[in-house]
Amino acid sequence: MPEIIDATKRLLVGRPMRSDNLGRTLLPKRLALPVFSSDALSSMAYAPDEILLMLAVAGVSAAAISPWVGVAVGVMLLVVVASYRQNVRAYPSGGGDYEIVTTNLGPSAGLGVASALLVDYVLTVAVSVSSGAQYAASALPALRGYEVLVAVGIVVFLALLNLRGVRESSRVLAVPTYCFMAVMGAMAVVGAIRYYTGTLPASESAEFEIVPAAGMDQGLVGLGGAFLVARAFASGSVALTGVEAISNGVPAFRKPKGRNAANTLALLGLISAATLMMLVVLAQATGVRYAEDPHTQLTLDGAPLPADYVQHPVISQLAEAVFSGAPFVFYVVVGVTGLVLLLAANTAFAGFPVLGSILGRDGYLPRQLHTRGDRLAFSNGILTLGAGAVVLVVLFEGHVTSLIQLYIVGVFLSFTLSQLGMVRHWSRELRTEVRPETRSRMKRSRFINTVGFVATAGVLVIVLVTKFTHGAWITLLAIVALFVIMRGIRKHYDRVSEELALSGDDDEARALPSRVHAIVLVSKVHKPTLRALAYARASRPQTLEAVTVGVDRENIPGLTREWEALDLPVPLRILDSPFREITKPVLKYVRSVRRESPRDLVVVYIPEYVVGRWWEQLLHNQSALRLKGRLLFTPGVVVASVPWQLESSAGQTGLEGVDAHRRRQVP
């Protein structure tokens, strides 16, 4: 069984890599761009949908301002990108917003940002794969109704891909991400040419009419209209998600890490802003109509839409219109967009494990998250992220709009606090810097981060006001819960460290026991028992005895005769067990020995079978496991397991392949 498990692991994950190969996993800019930008670029596939969906509440006239909402989101995107370029240069260690906020605003604020980022990484995966599953169902009608299963399958695939290592996953991601950039560029060029030549056709939904919601018959007027525009802007701000991933993934870049990350971030910002503007302008030019519930919000000639009507995403409608007459290109656009959406979650798989590793190092998460796996990836963080994303996809049934309501709060909370932290960082550095050229550069950076702080804080307020009752409260609750849990983990680690730290009064830890009292547990007189006795005698304790529990009184005389026949120089003590228990009589006797001689060390030798098959483990050693678990809580007692290897355990060390490899290397 272990061979099968190991072979399966090697097939899925690959062969282990030496620690000194870590440098080979670092990414050049041409591979870092697809790895860390797929999330931000893929959000362009649903950001226009969310803008149009919100404005549809006020009817057709409201959709006319969608380009202006897109401009506002694009400007915000460029502001955030410019701000984060300062972040990655100043803090290239990979801690990102967590490190910046912790250093400049304190541990509590940093932990709050870390909680928000961890929650949003999970949401990033859930939203991306759910949206990708919808695109897949749009292109392949046979998948309709199975979107949740498709999304879960993609999460599992991405987890396995990342367990193989960052560089291998980057090779897989590079092609579809660059193809997405190419098809978006082609759509922009062809769409512009056809628009100015008057040959751009209307979209499939252009002839539909939008039915305004109750109270919105007059369009975007008054306080209600302003609130709706704010909601549309907040929903469209999902286009900014993924920008922070580069600041958390700087360690994956080749040197100089900070400069390479900043250049990649600038390129990402320009491509993302241009793509968003192109999509919202084309949607306006082709008359795209998009609503949350098309069968109640859209009509055709005053009549409801047919029951079998399926509303396609905005990019699908645009591709059909722009490339009308070339259906092959339409399928390429939809296919590449769906693929990028499915793979966009890889950005979170690159960022979450790194942040989890830093938090594990700092004691806020289990230390296991800080260690790298066989392929030099943070395997435990990857598995944790995958499990959380699967839970969200299943709970929300892969509904993208419902997940997006949870999505933006944590992103802008981390944006805002990190920019405030950077403002304090530059102010502190300016107090000690005397070189004029350096001070000038620092002042420029502080101004950029100040603008970023004001802008992101304003958006955060808008998001909280417009999204709170639509699901944002769930995200806030999750952030608070994770914050409390991580504080509790840190307190536990601190308490244990304090308890175990050396001090001037270490007599209890240093003192040698006055005597050693060895106890060998006996169930039968057989080879494992004799080996345990031999090991116990080799340690030369001052007192040595064998102990058995009289669970079955009929077997005691036979056991005694066998013991006496071997003429062993060790007395056999029989413990009474009227209720046929094994653990309690042994515990009671061991504790009585401790009470009689508190300064003595009691060593309990337990014979155990070593088996090679998982089902054999269920048939053996259960009493020993229970007994060891209880004895570990008894002060002054040491438990020694004495193994006896059964035939089925032969060749189960896990080193056979290594030994064979070494033998082949010997000339």
Q: pLDDT tens for residues 201-213?
A: 998 888 888 887 7
φ/ψ (deg, to 5) at 604: -105, 115
pLDDT of residue 18: 46
What 8-state DSSP symbol labels residue 610? E
Give me the mean pLDDT over the 344-369 stretch. Answer: 81
Rounded Cα gap, residues 468 and 487, in angstroms: 25
pLDDT tens digits, 363-404: 898 887 876 655 556 778 888 888 988 998 888 877 776 776
Query: For residue range 561-573, what is the model confidence (pLDDT) as tens digits?
Result: 999 898 888 999 9
| DSSP of 313-328 | PHHHHHHHHHTTT-HH
Query: Does residue 40 or residue 423 have the better pLDDT?
Result: 423
Contact 117, 366 (CB under 8 A): no
Average pLDDT rounded to a whole number, residues 285-308: 84
Q: Give the range among 58-62, 315-319, 353-357, 530-534 with minimum mean pLDDT.
A: 58-62
Domains in the chain: ranges and CATH: 9-15+23-210+227-303+311-493 (1.20.1740.10), 513-657 (3.40.50)
Both tokens of residue 228? 């709706």
Is a pLDDT exceeding 70 seen at residue 214?
Answer: no
Higher pLDDT, 78 or 23: 78
Q: What is the DSSP string of 200-247?
A: -PPPTTTT-EE-PPTT-TT-S-HHHHHHHHHHHHHHHGGGGTTHHHHH
| DSSP label at residue 506 | -
**Which of 229, 213, 207 shows the shortest CA–CA distance to 317?**
207
The distance in angstroms from the start CA to the end CA of the chain is 32
Quote the pLDDT of residue 23: 46
Q: What is the number of other CB atoms lying within 10 angstroms of the CB of residue 544?
A: 20
Q: Give the residue from 392, 313, 395 showing the smallest Cα distance to 348.
A: 392
pLDDT at 507: 58
The most confident of the ranges 189-198, 304-313, 331-340, 396-405 is 189-198
DSSP H or E segment with residue 576:
strand 572-576
Q: What is the model's pLDDT at position 662?
A: 44
pLDDT class of 189 with cuts at 50, 70, 90: very high
The chain-wide mean pLDDT, for the chain, equals 80
Q: Are 440 and 430 in contact (CB under 8 A)?
A: no
The pair of structure tokens assigned to 61 is: 């006239």
Per residue in 85-124, pLDDT tens? Answer: 888 888 877 667 888 899 899 999 999 988 988 888 888 8
Is the pLDDT score of 667 beyond 50?
no
Decide if 431 contacts 127 (C-beta within 8 A). Answer: no
For residues 423 and 485, the answer to whether their CB atoms sit within 8 Å is: no
Cβ contact 33:258 at 8 Å: no
Whether 657 has a pLDDT exceeding 80, the answer reads no
**Where on the phi/psi map is residue 267: left (φ > 0), alpha (ψ -120 to 50), or beta?**
alpha
pLDDT band at 186 (very low <50, low <70, confident <90, very high): very high
Question: Which of 245-259, 307-321, 473-487, 534-548 is predicted with the least confidence, judged by mean pLDDT?
Answer: 245-259
**What sign does the dihedral 462-466-468-471 (CA atoms) show?**
negative
Give which of 147, 121, 130 is closest to 388, Cα–Cα. Answer: 121
pLDDT in tens, 28-51: 767 777 777 777 787 887 788 888
Give the per-residue pLDDT at 597.
84
Res. 414 pLDDT band, cuts 50 70 90 = confident
The predicted pLDDT at position 573 comes to 92
Residue spans of alpha helices (H) in 14-65: 29-42, 47-55, 60-63
- Phi/psi for 32 (5° steps) reads -65, -35
Is a pLDDT exceeding 70 seen at residue 60? Answer: no
> Taking CA 230 as the corner, what is the angle to CA 233 and CA 47, rounded to the nearest 5 degrees?
20
pLDDT at residue 661, as a whole number: 44
Query: Distances from the Cα of 469 to the Cαs of 178, 464, 476, in angstroms?
Result: 38, 9, 11
Name the token pair of 369. Answer: 């998250």
CA distance 189 to 197: 12
Which pLDDT does position 5 carry in this prediction?
45
Per-residue pLDDT, averaged over 273-285, amounts to 90
Q: Are 557 and 642 in contact (CB under 8 A)?
A: no
Q: Degrees (nearest 5) of the Cα angle 438, 443, 448?
A: 125
Predicted local confidence at residue 511, as pLDDT: 62
Q: How far apart are CA 87 and CA 104, in angstroms?
A: 12
- Read off the pLDDT of each residue in 590-604 and give the average, rounded to a whole number: 89
What mean pLDDT comes out for the span 179-187? Answer: 91
Distance CA 400, CA 241 (A): 15
Split at pLDDT 50, 70, 90, the class of 170 is low
452-503: pLDDT as tens digits: 898 888 888 888 887 777 777 888 888 999 999 999 999 988 888 787 666 6
CA distances from 555 to 204, 478, 533, 577, 609 (A): 86, 59, 21, 13, 21
Higher pLDDT, 667 or 477: 477
* CB-based contact 599:635 (threshold 8 Å): no
The whole-number pLDDT of residue 322 equals 92
The average pLDDT across 238-266 equals 77
